[in-house]
Chains A and B, each alone.
With several copies, the nearest count.
Chain A
Amino acid sequence: MEQVAAAPPPVDLRVTIGSLTLQNPVCTASGTFGYGREFAALVNLERLGAIIVKGISLVPRPGNPPPRIIETACGMLNAIGLENVGVERFITKKLPFLRDLATPVIVNILGDSVEDYARLAGRLSGVEGIAALEVNISCPNVKKGGVAFGTVPEMAAAVTGAVRRETGLPVIVKLSPNVTDITAIARAAADAGADALSLINTLLGMAIDVRTRKPRLANVVGGLSGPAIKPVALRMVWQVARAVSIPVIGIGGITTGEDALEFLIAGATAVQVGTANFFQPTATEEIIDGLAAFLRNQGLSSIRQVIGSLQLE
């Protein structure tokens, strides 16, 4: 008898973040995938769960002087300084390319004051081709002496509430890991109306050139990302997923399908891939394939059976 290779059984990778359904849980992390187009030659953008673009501010920002990046053990430090084209040029120059894709586009926004965030949310709400907003609250609040919005629950709530009032789009609040109790910030954002939470942003770090005795980054300190931070990110995602009832999006060092599965099992509804895009541009596609293969191997039909399935004694 002839063996006919059966098509692999279909698996359902869809997940839902608020009112938004993604074809799979694998998104690109803000600041690590440009405005999508930069990866078009190497990655099939149509396969992604969502594209989250580089953080956008009201007016263009030039960013920090160089050096801006430095490799560390299994990670990297960056102090880009939130360089971006500003919301108006984003809409006219960057969005049209993205709008032509079937993939949802999530815009990461950042500001120096609550009003900045509110105005950005208002400006972007009316614009076609935007599926959701991701609110980066790791930025310092210039009006409150530079303390990051993401480190004080009340400030996180204020930003979330202001954005919420300005938009009907799903609001994802992106949390900073540089805090004692991330669940307190998470609850504050959830209570203030966030539809979902994403975490983690980078850990604050530093490196020194011992020959010049200067910091390796012109900005002195920068954000640590990459596989090095994965254990911290996973712990925080697990803590937050237990603390809130809205969806959580896991970020931090995700490089392989197995990494993504760890976050999903810990309770994340979706994941974002950041630094891995740099050293392996096809990481997102490999992760999507990895999730599908895992479901098949385990005899599961939907990725939703995996989410939050951590077995504790």
Chain B
Amino acid sequence: MAEFQEKSTIVRREQLTGDVFRLTVHCPRIAAAAQPGQFVMVRAGETLDPLLRRPFSIHKVTGDGKLAVLFKVIGKGTRLLAAAMPGERLDVIGPLGSGFAPDPGGPHCLIGGGMGIAPLYFLAQHLLISGHGAANPPVLLGAQTQAELLLLAQEFSELGYPVLTATDDGSLGHPGLVTDLLDALLAEVRQVYVCGPLPMMRTVAGKCGQAGVACQVSLEAHMACGLGACLGCTFPASSGGFHHVCKEGPVFRAEEVLWSR
């Protein structure tokens, strides 16, 4: 429960596609405390517009105090971040929220769609370190086109994970939804971790539920504070009432979430 605010320095900026970027920043205290599935709140720009910090999953953590965020340009905050250059400072708060709870026993299946792939890489790193990565079924990665997937798929491979891909336009891997790839694997899986667009997570949660496979999902909500204070980031809970995504989540067990709305 220790959060830090660090004026981190951008050490690396990569442009993966026209609108997908990866920034690696030096923020040793946040990096040291980070757990897979947690996120950071980043101040974009230095004026009052944009006003609020932007939440991003922790995508990678390196031993030397660095962490990376992987993001797509959506609006003005991500546009400003995409223009930030190495050497510039970035005001980062984290690590925030409650992340994945890696089940001690595999096999583990990681499923990421679009920018939902971001937290899964950190999880994959973590599973490897704790000795649960190598023998696992393929990581399933989906995106609109191959451009978004190429480098990321390669990096999961380099970690030692088999990778299966799906693209909307069929330019890489399975043409269609990444969730289609799950059916063939469900029998051999004990734990699914999924992050991506809501309909995708709903589908995965449904399939896992039917197959009796444990499933953890990483939700999104508009956030003002990221600290559990504003009560803005709610998501309907299956038990009635609301989850606060920034504090109780962003990762939930699929059955805790009210998927119907």
Contacts and interface: CB of A to CB of B under 8 A. Distances in A.
Interface of A: 31-34, 38-39, 41-42, 54, 62-63, 65-71, 73-76, 78, 80, 83, 226-227, 255, 275, 277-282
A31 B228 CA distance: 11
Nearest to B229: A34
Contact of A69 (B5, B53, B224, B227): B224
Interface string B174-204: 0000000000000000000000000000000
Given A34-B230, A71-B50, A73-B48, 19 more contacts: A34-B229, A38-B228, A38-B229, A42-B3, A42-B227, A62-B241, A66-B233, A66-B234, A71-B51, A74-B48, A76-B51, A78-B232, A226-B48, A255-B48, A278-B224, A279-B43, A279-B52, A281-B5, A281-B225
Interface string B207-235: 00000000000000111110111111111
8 contacts: A34-B228, A41-B4, A66-B222, A66-B242, A73-B49, A76-B51, A226-B51, A281-B5
A65 B51 CA distance: 23
A62 B93 CA distance: 28
A249 B49 CA distance: 26
B74 interface: no
Contacts of A33: 229
A74 B232 CA distance: 17
By CB atoms of chain A within 10 A, which of B53, B93, B228, B232 has the most? B232
For the complex of A and B, 10 pairs with smallest distance between CB atoms: A34-B229, A69-B232, A38-B229, A278-B224, A278-B225, A41-B3, A66-B234, A74-B48, A38-B227, A68-B232
Contacts of B129: none
Contact of B225 (A74, A255, A277): A277
B83 interface: no
B227 A39 contact: yes
B224 A75 contact: no
Contacts of A75: 51
B28 interface: no
B255 to A, nearest CB: 19
Interface of B: 1-5, 43, 48-53, 93, 221-225, 227-236, 241-242
Contacts of A280: 43
Given A33-B229, A38-B229, A69 B242 contact: no
By CB atoms of chain A within 10 A, which of B49, B227, B233, B236 has the most? B227
Nearest to B232: A69
A278 B55 CA distance: 12
A12 B242 CA distance: 44
A54 B231 contact: yes
B229 A282 contact: no
Contact of A34 (B49, B227, B234): B227
Nearest to A66: B234
Given A63-B242, A279-B43, A68 B234 contact: yes
B217 to A, nearest CB: 16
A41 B1 contact: yes
A197 B16 CA distance: 50
Given A38-B225, A83-B231, A74 B51 contact: yes
Contacts of A227: 48, 51
Contacts of A62: 241-242
A2 to B, nearest CB: 24
A278 B53 contact: yes
B3 A32 contact: no
Contacts of B43: 279-280
By CB atoms of chain B within 10 A, which of A31, A71, A275 has the most? A71
B95 to A, nearest CB: 11
B179 to A, nearest CB: 24
Nearest to B227: A38
A227 B227 CA distance: 21
Nearest to B3: A41
A32 B53 contact: no
B52 A278 contact: yes
